[in-house]
Chain A
């Protein structure tokens, strides 16, 4: 069997590994658009801060090489489902028996006059992070468009570079159109703690603010005009205004898409023999029961694994994912948020607590824990996220759960 995989990041790699485990004689080819071998995409902001090198963020061992999986550098521009062929930008064609679409997502480009041109950088892959890192060396003031996780991490990375290497912008401003940063990643109380810490690190945060124009003198960026009328000085602009699934190459393929590629519970598309996994998928969010795009590393890994097993004849059910399952440390504040993090009364019960150690919040739906936020103290966080992720009813240990003192041994008595 010839297996084709378009996309060489975590979904594609996990699928390739799963195929190899299930089919030792499989002929597997991974097409990747990135020159560097497989790397850990979530940590590309460390290239901007200078805390890690390109080499540091590569996989310690190439997971493809050790498994006899071929790797091709290229970009797919179309898929012919009938001929079972992928056409690459180079003109090369790759035929397949079974195909995985794991092309991830691409940065959204907001429509702002002056955005096209030098000094403006998206941040989604290693090459882009390196470009920002190089531009940062001589930058004095940077503006980040978008206050999501990527934008905030980029801003802090630029500050870190300035602090530890003595180069890079002294002024860093994040502008966010919504009323608060990190929208959907953490609850309103939690984000206040994090925002204060981000500002403490010297990052200016402007919410309810949009960029209305990128101001240029000849070609170079000199500032960013805001919706408030004010103009910020800037010589470096990072666009972190979200992403969209990378599906334009599927336009005439007959593969059904909406925002992302639509799949069934086997991660198969509407076309037999063609599967999809990772950020390119529009799948079922388990708590809301609505279709959405995930964007999480761990979900992409699980999807890739399930899709790979199914491509090789397995029967792994993948009912969906949780949109929120985040852990991070931002500006010195560690946090975990999982599941439903903001519930407005109704059938939900919300318990929260704040003290010198930090802040926590739990959301319950009857016998089920459906959401959790931990800021500061992450002790036993995994015990709680496991209850959410695996939909385990709470019975006898409810009291300890609700007081946030439950440990693994309590669940043995659940």
Chain B
């Protein structure tokens, strides 16, 4: 139960995940203060749509993360849970990670002048985005279990001719 998986077919594009993410990363971690916080708290994931696909795009916490390789100040690192995180005080705002992330999920905090990315809500068991998703388009799962489920689905579809 370590990785966030996205099931695009279940995403309605409601952006509840974005809101929950921004609240989670606000000062008071609750909706109303977050709304009035200035500058506004920043979300770390982005609901995008293209060609009939809607889905939140978020940090994959890559095993061999391009952002960590690109970081020239020793800010980004892989923590003991394999989450890609920041040592905030080390960030110099050079945006090398922004340049390197193929998912486009690292953004700039213009006030603090540092890079902002998903921290996998490392202090809690279930990340805010997963918690907030009403359709279970975002799920927390073990990679092995998830791929087993996918395989079962394919076999079932092939065997029965049922559509997904």
Residues of B contacting A326 in the complex (Cβ-Cβ under 8 angstroms):
99
Q: Scan residues 344-359 of chain A and give those whose CB is less than 8 A from a CB of chain B.
A: none
Taking the nearest CB of chain A, how far is it from the CB of B111, in angstroms?
13
Residues of B contacting A413 in the complex (Cβ-Cβ under 8 angstroms):
50-51, 53
Tell which of A56, A381, A408 has the most Cβ of chain B within 10 Å: A408
Given known pairs A407-B50, A412-B50, A413-B53, the reply for A43 and B99 (CB within 8 Å) is no
In the complex the two chains form, what is the Cα distance from A334 to B51 in whole Å? Answer: 31
In the complex the two chains form, what is the Cα distance from A382 to B99 in whole Å? Answer: 4
Render B125-149 as a binary contact track against A, CB cut-off 8 A, 1 for contact: 0000000000000000000000000
In the complex the two chains form, what is the Cα distance from A42 to B90 in whole Å? Answer: 13
- Confirm or deny: A92 has a beta carbon within 8 angstroms of a beta carbon on chain B: no
Render A298-333 as a binary contact track against B, CB cut-off 8 A, 1 for contact: 100110000000000000000000000111110000
- Confirm or deny: A386 has a beta carbon within 8 angstroms of a beta carbon on chain B: yes
Inter-subunit contact A334/B95 (CB<8 Å): yes
Taking the nearest CB of chain B, how far is it from the CB of A289, in angstroms?
23
Taking the nearest CB of chain A, how far is it from the CB of B104, in angstroms?
4
Residues of A contacting B55 in the complex (Cβ-Cβ under 8 angstroms):
409
Given known pairs A327-B94, A409-B57, the reply for A383 and B74 (CB within 8 Å) is no
- Confirm or deny: A192 has a beta carbon within 8 angstroms of a beta carbon on chain B: no
In the complex the two chains form, what is the Cα distance from A410 to B54 in whole Å? Answer: 10
Residues of A contacting B107 in the complex (Cβ-Cβ under 8 angstroms):
379
Residues of A contacting B93 in the complex (Cβ-Cβ under 8 angstroms):
329, 334
Inter-subunit contact A42/B106 (CB<8 Å): no
Residues of A contacting B94 in the complex (Cβ-Cβ under 8 angstroms):
42-43, 327-329
Tell which of B92, B96, B108 has the most Cβ of chain A within 10 Å: B92
Inter-subunit contact B101/A382 (CB<8 Å): yes
Inter-subunit contact B69/A378 (CB<8 Å): no
Taking the nearest CB of chain B, how far is it from the CB of A330, in angstroms?
10
Inter-subunit contact A381/B104 (CB<8 Å): yes
- Confirm or deny: A59 has a beta carbon within 8 angstroms of a beta carbon on chain B: yes
Q: Which of B57, B66, B95, B99 touches A338 (beta carbons < 8 Å)?
A: B99
In the complex the two chains form, what is the Cα distance from A60 to B68 in whole Å? Answer: 13
Taking the nearest CB of chain A, how far is it from the CB of B120, in angstroms?
18
- Confirm or deny: B17 has a beta carbon within 8 angstroms of a beta carbon on chain A: no
Inter-subunit contact A381/B98 (CB<8 Å): yes
- Confirm or deny: A47 has a beta carbon within 8 angstroms of a beta carbon on chain B: no
Contacts across chains A and B counted by CB atoms under 8 Å: 107
In the complex the two chains form, what is the Cα distance from A267 to B48 in whole Å? Answer: 40
Residues of A contacting B74 in the complex (Cβ-Cβ under 8 angstroms):
40, 57-60
Residues of B contacting A378 in the complex (Cβ-Cβ under 8 angstroms):
95, 98-99, 108
Inter-subunit contact B102/A329 (CB<8 Å): no
- Confirm or deny: A2 has a beta carbon within 8 angstroms of a beta carbon on chain B: no
- Confirm or deny: B14 has a beta carbon within 8 angstroms of a beta carbon on chain A: no
Inter-subunit contact A325/B99 (CB<8 Å): yes
- Confirm or deny: A297 has a beta carbon within 8 angstroms of a beta carbon on chain B: yes
Nearest-CB residue, chain B, relative to A39: B74
Taking the nearest CB of chain B, how far is it from the CB of A368, in angstroms?
16
Residues of A contacting B66 in the complex (Cβ-Cβ under 8 angstroms):
382
Inter-subunit contact A327/B102 (CB<8 Å): no
Q: Which of A298, A396, A400 touches B70 (beta carbons < 8 Å)?
A: A298
- Confirm or deny: B72 has a beta carbon within 8 angstroms of a beta carbon on chain A: yes
Residues of B contacting A297 in the complex (Cβ-Cβ under 8 angstroms):
70, 72
Render B68-93 as a binary contact track against A, CB cut-off 8 A, 1 for contact: 01101110010000000001001011
- Confirm or deny: B5 has a beta carbon within 8 angstroms of a beta carbon on chain A: no
Nearest-CB residue, chain A, relative to B98: A378
Q: Which of B57, B95, B100, B104 touches A298 (beta carbons < 8 Å)?
A: B100
Inter-subunit contact A328/B70 (CB<8 Å): no
Inter-subunit contact B69/A298 (CB<8 Å): yes
- Confirm or deny: A135 has a beta carbon within 8 angstroms of a beta carbon on chain B: no
- Confirm or deny: A133 has a beta carbon within 8 angstroms of a beta carbon on chain B: no
Taking the nearest CB of chain A, how far is it from the CB of B43, in angstroms?
13
Render A370-414 as a binary contact track against B, CB cut-off 8 A, 1 for contact: 000000001111110110000000001100100000011110110
Residues of B contacting A338 in the complex (Cβ-Cβ under 8 angstroms):
99
Inter-subunit contact A385/B99 (CB<8 Å): yes
Q: Which of B48, B54, B104 touches A382 (beta carbons < 8 Å)?
A: B104
21 cross-chain CB contacts under 8 A: A40-B73, A42-B73, A42-B94, A43-B94, A58-B74, A60-B74, A60-B77, A60-B90, A297-B72, A298-B69, A298-B100, A326-B99, A329-B93, A378-B108, A382-B66, A382-B103, A382-B104, A383-B102, A408-B48, A408-B103, A409-B49
Q: Could you list which residues of chain A lie within 8 angstroms of chain B, going by C-beta atoms?
A: 40, 42-43, 46, 52, 56-60, 297-298, 301-302, 325-329, 334, 336, 338, 378-383, 385-386, 396-397, 400, 407-410, 412-413
